[in-house]
Structure 1
Amino acid sequence: MSHSAFFYGTLLHPSILRRVIGHEGSGLEICPALLQARAHPSQDKNYPAVLPHERSRELFAEAGHEEPPADQRNVRGTLVTGLNDKDIALLDLFEGDEYTRESVLVHPLGPFTALSSTPVPRTTTPSVGAASIPLSQSTTNAYLVPLTAPELPPLDLLPPPLPAQTYIYAGPLSDLSPELWSYEDFVRENAWKWVGRGTVDDNYAEVDRRREMNGSTLKTEVAADI
């Protein structure tokens, strides 16, 4: 069965996605996309979390903050098509029980390209429990998510939405900041972690660590309605 998924946060990086699913992405296509929802940064600013609308409202209320207007329910990310059942199982394992996978509608913001056409950064760390991935000498920004994103069209002029699945945060609200997550800030502040052999190795080690945890990162279940 073929699946489509919307990614935000660390999995924006094609090489991290490849590491999680254990292959170079042959047959997968990727494009920039928009989910009409709210994402909040973690307290340490290291990762974003999409919340169901009611939980997002609760987070703002608990902090005494006014809820942002509806036109700010915009989360930038990437839409990937062609994922198979095994890919999804490995993604579930990576996200752990801190997130639940939910069906959503996302708006593509550009043409699809082959995921396998994006260069792979050089790494020396062997994969643990995943397929070997071809290496590249490139440590340039060519394979990175752009630091700046094009301006969004008016919401009523967005391309028609496509069905996909994404990971909705199910952890404690106390771990999140009562502000809106910024795609541009996240990429700018985290891009350095995605450049060069050593830092890519660190991200790969985190993927392998989560795999060894077998998805047991949090024991919480929350129904999502975004």
Structure 2
Amino acid sequence: MENAAPPAPPVFFYGTLMHPGILKRIIGSKGNHLRICGAILPGYSRRQVQGASYPAIIPWPAALKLFGDSEGIPHEEQCVRGILVYGVTHDDEELLDYFESRMFHRERITVHALGPPQSLNDWENSPESHVALPNSNVTMEEGLKMPSCEAETYVWRDNTNWLSSHYWSYDVFLKEKLRIWI
């Protein structure tokens, strides 16, 4: 009897791919096999990529070096809120790697899942999905106390001069940029 391949780790998304319609378009499927929950990635900073509608993440110490000291910066900006996606297949990974291009590198990270996973399609069909992320009622402090798990995410590896000192906002993306993506 052959050993089954171990399941792929969940993938943490923190930008445009948090939107179910965009994620499904990139992987070219209806996403029936995917489950999601909100998640928090500590120790990273999400920044606007200059001239783009998407963000990048870099480790928090690198953000401090690039953009100044941490005095007065809320703890929330030293962590990244996003979604954890379970059930990503090898074919999905190849399409995601192509989409993320050479500007990003897929890396193993540790995140805090903010609740049990639910069907991507159930989430997409909920009224909340158009204005918030799953488990958005969980505060950053509460989330950082929740159990952690291993996952993968896409970390910026291109020239840091392309990163803005401004934080990227999913709320602003939904209101001002989503229409150009779907």
Q: Do these two structures clear the TM 0.5 threshold for a shared fold by scoring above it?
A: yes
Aligned with 1:113 (options 115, 118, 129): 118
How far does residue 73 in structure 1 lie from its aligned partner after superposition? 1.3
Q: Unaligned stretches of 5+ in structure 2? A: 1-5
- Relative to the length of structure 2, the TM-score reads 0.79
Q: Measure, in 2, the Cα distance between the counterparts of 1:27 and 1:102.
A: 22
The DSSP-based 3-state class of the residue aligned with 2:165 is coil
Letter of the 1:189 partner, please give it. Answer: E
Q: Unaligned stretches of 5+ in structure 1? A: 121-139, 194-198, 205-226
Give yes or no for contact 1:147–1:184 (8 Å, CA) kept in 2.
no
Give yes or no for contact 2:113–2:143 (8 Å, CA) kept in 1.
no
Q: Measure, in 2, the Cα distance between the counterparts of 1:21 and 1:156.
A: 28
Identity of aligned residues (%): 35
How far does residue 156 in structure 1 lie from its aligned partner after superposition? 7.9
The DSSP-based 3-state class of the residue aligned with 2:102 is helix
Letter of the 1:18 partner, please give it. Answer: K
Q: Measure, in 1, the Cα distance between the counterparts of 2:177 and 2:142.
A: 28
Q: 1:53 to 1:19 in 2, by over 3 A?
A: same
Off by >6 Å, runs of 4+ in structure 1: none
Q: Would you tell me which structure has more strand in proportion to its own residues?
A: 2
44-53 vs 9-18, which deviates more? Answer: 44-53
Partner residue in 2 for 1:99: 104
Partner residue in 1 for 2:53: 46
- Relative to the length of structure 1, the TM-score reads 0.65
Q: 1:25 to 1:147 in 2, by over 3 A?
A: closer
Q: Which has the larger radius of gyration?
A: 1
**Aligned Cα RMSD in Å?**
2.8
Partner residue in 2 for 1:158: 145
Q: 1:185 to 1:24 in 2, by over 3 A?
A: same
Q: Measure, in 2, the Cα distance between the counterparts of 1:179 and 1:119.
A: 28
Partner residue in 2 for 1:214: none
